Structure 1
Amino acid sequence: MPDISALRADTPALVKNPNLIHLNNAGAALPPAPVLRAIHEHLDLEAHIGGYEAADAKATDIAGFYTAIARLLNANPRNIAFATSATDAYARILSAIPFRSGDAILTTENDYVSNQIAFLALQKRFGVKLLRARDTAEGGVDVADFEILLKKHRPVLAAVTHVPTNSGLVQPVAEIGKICREHGVWYLVDACQSAGQMALDVEKIGCDFLSATMRKFMRGPRGAGFLFASDRALDAGLELLLPDMRSADWTGPDEYATHPTAQRFEYWEMPPALVLGGKAAAEYALSVGMDWIENRVKMLADLTRKKLAELPGVQVLDKGAERCGIVTAHATHWDSKTLLEKLWAENINCRVSSLTSAQIDFPRKGVTWALRVSPHYFNTEEEVERMVGVL
């Protein structure tokens, strides 16, 4: 079992400020020392010998990014691409789907705000029809309704956010993946909030695409993310809407050849320091152990929900058969700005989710905002108790 004190000692922010209680890991987690070291060392190398030369010198290490992410997802390195964020990865994937007027996208009521906006933009520009499967009374997508809509409308794409940004809900992505595979529908999973806090296996999920960021529970750098593209997607020739000289080769004056691997979803300009930081973050998570991380994060989140629910007038908002490391709560006597200022004054980092992130979920819960608390494995039970005590 990993040593919590050792993990905290390997987190520079906590060494510098032992009183810091960072419970905003769904926003941006505190990076461990190896991640910072990888980034700083490469930037220093660039400063001393030049950017292109540094990338050439570290080509083998940079290639290790794909191996590390593949291990994290139970995938092959050829199916992994670097992106600058989860939203960037998601947009690249959407650009590869050859939508036509009248095509349908099937999603859920709890999909991430940026994804919902992208779907609406596709609807506006290309005449794509947007369908949302309803939620169950317990919370989370109604898989039976999802299947009914899929069979009826034959969507070109099914898209599900594994963990919403505004809730601790965990969607049944593997169940949905089985349905999508049975009917030959392209399946995209947004793992932005689940990567790094939960063990992910693209074979079990059955997705054609998966997108994620490094800055959240992965404990990696901002400006880095990744995507997975299945062999089925690669074999079908899906590619970026606007590829460049990394995504493809210019093979003649009037022709190009798409890269055979998921590199076809990358652009030539990439930040090698952040790629190396992302590699270090993935390797760090794997060394700690994803199963242990998942169990500890869920334990801390359950404790947080229990303690918040004991406060007078506080409503814990998370629903669903399975819940994770994001905890949301609301109280009518709370003011969002004052609440955060009170926590910050005590060196406690949390965040507020607003209505603009949950236009379907929050009205149904009768709130316009929620306090979001997101512990990670380096947090302690005492920190949760301290946060609740301040509230």
Structure 2
Amino acid sequence: MAVPFTPVEIDAIRANTPGCTDDLIHLNHAGSSLPDVSVLDAQIGHLRREAGIGGYEAAEETAEAEAAVYDSIAAMIGGRRHEVARMEHATAAWNAAFWAIPKRPWQRIITHDHDYGANWVAFLRAVEVHGVVIERIPSDAHGQIDLERLASALERPDDIALVSLAWIPTNGGLVNPAAGVGALTRAAGVPFLLDACQAVGQLDIDVESIGCDALSATGRKYLRGPRGSGFLFVHSRAVERFAPAHPDHHGAEWSAIDSYTFAPGATRYEYWEHNHAAWPGLGAAVDVALRLGVDRIQATIAQRAKELREQLVERGMSVHDAGVAKCGIVTMTHPTLDAGEVVSRLATRGVNASSTFLGSARADMEARGLPSLVRLSVHCTTTPAEIQRAATAIGEI
């Protein structure tokens, strides 16, 4: 097991993070985290170059550096360069994979109650477009996806379009057993789409061990990268099995007047136009995570989150985190105030937090009778002193 960062190491990480100040306690890393200064330098430097010599010219000048971002991402997740596609954000990445997976009428989309609201909207749209059926796998006694129930559902693999799983849902602190799901889907030969938007940068990832066919991610959360950046991993075994729904002339070559040919690897999911400043910014964020060690980031986040949960309970708050393994997202309710009011009052005390409502995770929150939750998310930049101050502020309101 990796060891958490020492106080001296955390101070060094914070010194390179402009948002880490004595006046602000940022507990909204699951929303949008605080970037390292190298991320800002990469973005701003490219924007200045675009302004100085032109956008096309700046892109040509940095083509080699842009290409290196794929290598960094592949190294971070245990994949290969040609399995990584550049994306604008996690939703674009997830949708690119979801709509590429073949679907037939009456096939099942298997999901878990914790899947994200945006994904559920896509499921419902697929019901209308493809005539598929949504099958919900309930949670087990620990609140995570019930692997025994999933195994039973997979006994008829021919009538399953895919299994979709939110590795770390938007609410509840849960880390779903992604590798357990991957083992079952691989054995059944069923496509497995893993939403890792809140796992990448927080968990040490090996896509081969997980066994997913596609993995979607964003830059703005635990990777501490730019907003408007993300990536999609598509395993080599799935590249020819799936077909992008909306390719352009970058993702596919217009090879004859009446035909096209998909680009090799995951590039077929990309569009020619993209934010040339955000992509190197994302690369810088990935390089920071690799340099620090994602395993140690994970250990530090787990330690801080445990401290926060304990201190919230001591102050009379109800913590609603589920699962055998828990992440850096801590969700709670106040005895008398709704989530929006708690978040608003914390903001006046210099504490950033967020709230989760029904539309983000309706299946889970309705089942648990939770109309809203306060979401407090820590990172390796969070200090024990900040945990103490934030918990005290919550107790005071």
TM tier, smaller: over 0.9
Match of 2:161 among 146, 156, 162: 156
Residue 261 of structure 1 corresponds to which residue in structure 2? Answer: 265
Quote the offset at 1:140 in angstroms. 0.6
Instruction: State the distance in 1 between where 2:124 and 2:172 align.
Output: 22
Instruction: State the distance in 1 between where 2:231 and 2:41 align.
Output: 20
Residue 201 of structure 1 corresponds to which residue in structure 2? Answer: 206
Secondary structure of the residue aligned to 1:223 is coil
Instruction: State the distance in 2 between where 1:105 and 1:61 align.
Output: 39
Match of 2:295 among 291, 294, 298: 291
1:85 aligns with 2:93: no
Instruction: State the distance in 2 between where 1:44 and 1:225 align.
Output: 22
Deviations 1:40-70 (A, max 9, x none): 0000010011111101000000001101110
Residue 339 of structure 2 corresponds to which residue in structure 1? Answer: 336
Quote the offset at 1:152 in angstroms. 3.3
Instruction: State the distance in 2 between where 1:357 and 1:171 align.
Output: 17
Which one-letter code corresponds to 2:218 in the other structure? Answer: T
Tell me if structure 2 keeps the 8 A contact 1:106–1:150.
Answer: no
Instruction: State the distance in 2 between where 1:112 and 1:335 align.
Output: 21
Instruction: State the distance in 2 between where 1:74 and 1:214 align.
Output: 17
Match of 1:369 among 351, 367, 372: 372
Instruction: State the distance in 2 between where 1:380 and 1:149 align.
Output: 44
1:202-241 mapped onto 2 (5 Å cutoff): 202-236=207-241, 238-241=242-245
Which one-letter code corresponds to 2:36 in the other structure? Answer: P
Quote the offset at 1:71 in angstroms. 0.7
Match of 1:7 among 13, 17, 22: 13
Residue 312 of structure 2 corresponds to which residue in structure 1? Answer: 308
1:167-178 mapped onto 2 (5 Å cutoff): 167-178=172-183
Which one-letter code corresponds to 1:91 in the other structure? Answer: N
Which TM-score applies when normalising by structure 1? Answer: 0.97
Residue 107 of structure 2 corresponds to which residue in structure 1? Answer: 103
Residue 122 of structure 2 corresponds to which residue in structure 1? Answer: 118
Secondary structure of the residue aligned to 2:155 is helix
Secondary structure of the residue aligned to 1:131 is strand
Tell me if structure 1 keeps the 8 A contact 2:333–2:339.
Answer: no
Secondary structure of the residue aligned to 1:102 is coil
Secondary structure of the residue aligned to 2:19 is helix
Which one-letter code corresponds to 2:332 in the other structure? Answer: A
Which one-letter code corresponds to 2:325 in the other structure? Answer: E
Deviates more, 1:23-32 or 1:329-338: 329-338
Residue 321 of structure 1 corresponds to which residue in structure 2? Answer: 324
Number of aligned pairs?
A: 387
Which TM-score applies when normalising by structure 2? Answer: 0.95
Match of 1:186 among 179, 187, 191: 191
Instruction: State the distance in 1 between where 2:335 and 2:127 align.
Output: 37
Instruction: State the distance in 2 between where 1:273 and 1:382 align.
Output: 35
Quote the offset at 1:195 in angstroms. 0.6
Instruction: State the distance in 2 between where 1:86 and 1:242 align.
Output: 17
Deviations 1:203-250 (A, max 9, x none): 0100110001000001000000101000111243x2211210110111
Task: Give ranges in structure 2 of 5+ residues lacking alignment.
Answer: none
Secondary structure of the residue aligned to 1:270 is coil
Instruction: State the distance in 2 between where 1:152 and 1:97 align.
Output: 18
Which one-letter code corresponds to 2:187 in the other structure? Answer: E
Task: Give ranges in structure 1 of 5+ residues lacking alignment.
Answer: none
Quote the offset at 1:153 in angstroms. 5.6
1:21 aligns with 2:13: no
Deviates more, 1:291-300 or 1:104-113: 104-113
Secondary structure of the residue aligned to 2:261 is strand
Quote the offset at 1:6 in angstroms. 1.0
Instruction: State the distance in 2 between where 1:103 and 1:337 align.
Output: 39
Secondary structure of the residue aligned to 1:71 is helix
Deviations 1:347-390 (A, max 9, x none): 11011111211212223322211110000000101101101101
Residue 275 of structure 1 corresponds to which residue in structure 2? Answer: 279
Which one-letter code corresponds to 2:16 in the other structure? Answer: D
Secondary structure of the residue aligned to 2:253 is strand
Instruction: State the distance in 2 between where 1:267 and 1:128 align.
Output: 28
Tell me if structure 1 keeps the 8 A contact 2:145–2:176.
Answer: yes
Match of 1:62 among 63, 66, 71: 66
Residue 129 of structure 1 corresponds to which residue in structure 2? Answer: 133
1:53 aligns with 2:57: yes
Tell me if structure 1 keeps the 8 A contact 2:334–2:342.
Answer: no
Tell me if structure 2 keeps the 8 A contact 1:104–1:153.
Answer: no
Which one-letter code corresponds to 2:19 in the other structure? Answer: A
Identity over the aligned pairs, expressed in percent?
A: 39
Secondary structure of the residue aligned to 1:39 is helix
Deviates more, 1:147-156 or 1:303-312: 147-156
Instruction: State the distance in 2 between where 1:277 and 1:206 align.
Output: 28
Residue 39 of structure 1 corresponds to which residue in structure 2? Answer: 43
Secondary structure of the residue aligned to 2:99 is helix
Which one-letter code corresponds to 1:251 in the other structure? Answer: S
Tell me if structure 2 keeps the 8 A contact 1:73–1:200.
Answer: yes
Tell me if structure 2 keeps the 8 A contact 1:351–1:373.
Answer: yes
